[in-house]
Amino acid sequence: MLRVPHVTNYLSEHFADDAFGTLAGYERYGGYKAARQAITGMAPSEVVALVKESGLQGRGGAGFLAGLKWSFMPAETDKPKYLVCNADESEPGSFKDRILLERAPHLLLEGILIGAWATGASKTFLYIRGEYAFPAAQLERAIAEAYDKGYLGKRVMRSGFSHDVVLHRGAGAYICGEETGLLESLEGKKGQPRKKPPFPAQYGAFGMPSTVNNVETFCHVPHIVAKGSDWFRAFGTEKSPGTTIFGVSGHAVRLGLYELPLGTPLEEIVYRHAGGVPEGRRVKGVIPGGVSMPILPADQLDVPMANEFLRERKTMLGTGGIMVMDDTTCMVRAACVITYFFRDESCGQCTQCREGTGWLNKIVNRIERGAGVPEDLDVLIDVAGKMEGQTICAFADAAAWPVQGLLRHFRADFEQHVHERKCPFPESFQL
């Protein structure tokens, strides 16, 4: 059920003001009041309960409930506990965390501080993708400002609670966004995901109990603490509350970021907000949530952008990175680009992923060259099916889903290549 038709952009409300990125500017808009309220007026368990009641889903891709994840952190332990903020944002089509890091670094730090109080974490490792040089500089400055003001470090806000934030820059590998690949990389090892269990809440960064959350997930938290869970639940859908920042890329007139309630119909984002595709063309397909999410054809854009609805169409919200493809697009070429990415980024630990990503790429390239045979289509489906649910991490699934989606809705494009022994879409983007 969709509940709120109007739009309120509480995350991005002050983005137009450069000062919002500084401590003084952030405080002018009421910044750090929610953290003070939590640390001085609420028990950690109350904060966890509030975030649980709010129904906040993680915004890093899987949509796991943030409050529930926080409750997994052991209450009684003599080990230090850590938070990890995932700012790796390497999913093609996803660029929402970047704007939060650039325009609202103190909102993120405040969310982290509240999360640290709730989970009893003494330190946060903020892992940011290597290519994000300006966002990293913004964070570095904001962290220094927060230390100077006593919002980080020993006895935060003169309370008995201490918290440190350590900024760690990655070196540009997609797999370091997967939470346990990230932890390995943070520890100075190869960014190869860990077998689970044990989950990070038991054995996380440097072997200590840890919770990993996405940048945007943390950014919702100060608003929830300040205004309450009922306020938050008034946005979005019953199962997917709040807003999110959708990114629109590809063949749309107004490319960019749009903060909208979860459950906003995809067609409203593509046509009303992003202005549709350039004149004279039509939409052919839209990837709804970053390149790993299965594509939807033009006649399914009525879907509300929330997982409970997208799952019915065999896709997911992912990171909300919407990629629009117009009617000049060759879906086999799209498959070539996507499978090349996954072939290149597989960490290689699991046979299904290491070999599967290579075979998917090899076969779609062959079809695009006009050298495919009719059986290739079933082989693609067979290989993709054997990659799903079999591996150490969800990367292999993420590599299989786009191919399955393209074949589900655009099988005719693949068949035409095979029958005509060439690419029938000369106007499509070049490989």
Residues interacting with ligand FMN, by CB under 6 A? Answer: 58-62, 64, 66, 69, 86, 88-91, 175, 177-179, 212-214, 217, 393-395, 398
Select the span of 9-17, 218-226, 246-254, 393-401 touching ligand SF4 (CB under 6 A). Answer: 393-401
Among 108, 396, 403, 406, binds ligand SF4 (CB under 6 A): 396
| 244 vs 271: CA distance, rounded Å | 18
Residue partners of 317: CB distance under 8 A and separation at least 6: 63, 240, 244, 262, 288, 289, 293, 305, 306, 307, 310
Tally of CB atoms within 10 A around 179: 25
| 343 vs 365: CA distance, rounded Å | 12
Q: Which two tokens stand for residue 372?
A: 């495919």
- Backbone region of residue 19 per phi and psi (left: phi > 0; alpha: psi in -120 to 50; beta: other values): alpha
Query: Residue 114 or residue 175: which is nearer to ligand FMN going by CB?
Result: 175
Q: How far is CA 371 from CA 155, 365, 368, 377, in A?
A: 67, 9, 7, 13
353 binds ligand SF4 (CB under 6 A): yes
Query: Residue 120 or residue 193: which is nearer to ligand SF4 going by CB?
Result: 193
| 147 vs 163: CA distance, rounded Å | 10
Please name which of 310, 330, 334 lies closest in space to residue 320, comparing C-alpha atoms. Answer: 310
Q: Is there a contact between 212 and 121 (Cβ–Cβ < 8 Å)?
A: no
Q: Which does 91 bind (CB under 5 to 8 A by kind): ligand SF4, ligand FMN, none?
A: ligand FMN
Q: Which two tokens stand for residue 75?
A: 């209450």
Nearest distance in Å: CB 92, ligand SF4: 16
Query: Residue 92 or residue 250: which is nearer to ligand SF4 going by CB?
Result: 92
Query: Residue 331 or residue 392: which is nearer to ligand SF4 going by CB?
Result: 392
Q: How far is CA 237 from CA 43, 258, 311, 314, in A?
A: 29, 17, 15, 19
Nearest distance in Å: CB 353, ligand SF4: 3
Q: Which does 213 bind (CB under 5 to 8 A by kind): ligand FMN, ligand SF4, none?
A: ligand FMN
Query: Residue 176 or residue 286: which is nearer to ligand SF4 going by CB?
Result: 176
Q: Which does 391 bind (CB under 5 to 8 A by kind): ligand FMN, ligand SF4, none?
A: ligand SF4
Q: Which does 212 bind (CB under 5 to 8 A by kind): ligand FMN, ligand SF4, none?
A: ligand FMN
Nearest distance in Å: CB 182, ligand FMN: 7
Query: Residue 259 or residue 376: which is nearer to ligand FMN going by CB?
Result: 259
| 232 vs 54: CA distance, rounded Å | 6
Q: Is there a contact between 201 and 72 (Cβ–Cβ < 8 Å)?
A: yes
348 binds ligand SF4 (CB under 6 A): yes
183 binds ligand SF4 (CB under 6 A): no
Full DSSP string of 134-170: HHHHHHHHHHHHHHHTTSSBSSGGGSS--BEEEEEE-
CA atoms within 13 A on the CB side of 257: 18
| 375 vs 377: CA distance, rounded Å | 5
346 binds ligand SF4 (CB under 6 A): yes
Select the span of 93-101, 112-120, 350-358, 413-421 touching ligand SF4 (CB under 6 A). Answer: 350-358
175 binds ligand SF4 (CB under 6 A): yes
Among 33, 354, 366, 369, binds ligand SF4 (CB under 6 A): 354
Query: Residue 161 or residue 342: which is nearer to ligand FMN going by CB?
Result: 342
339 binds ligand SF4 (CB under 6 A): no
Residue list 188-227, contact with ligand SF4 (CB under 6 A): 193
Whole-angstrom Cα Rg for the chain? 22
| 402 vs 406: CA distance, rounded Å | 6
Which residue number places its CB atom closest to ligand SF4?
Answer: 353
Select the span of 73-81, 113-121, 262-270, 345-353 touching ligand SF4 (CB under 6 A). Answer: 345-353
| 147 vs 128: CA distance, rounded Å | 19
Query: Residue 301 or residue 392: which is nearer to ligand FMN going by CB?
Result: 392
Among 35, 215, 350, 423, binds ligand SF4 (CB under 6 A): 350
Q: Is there a contact between 353 and 399 (Cβ–Cβ < 8 Å)?
A: yes
Q: Which does 348 bind (CB under 5 to 8 A by kind): ligand SF4, ligand FMN, none?
A: ligand SF4
| Contacts to ligand SF4 by CB under 6 A | 175, 193, 346-350, 353-354, 391-393, 395-396
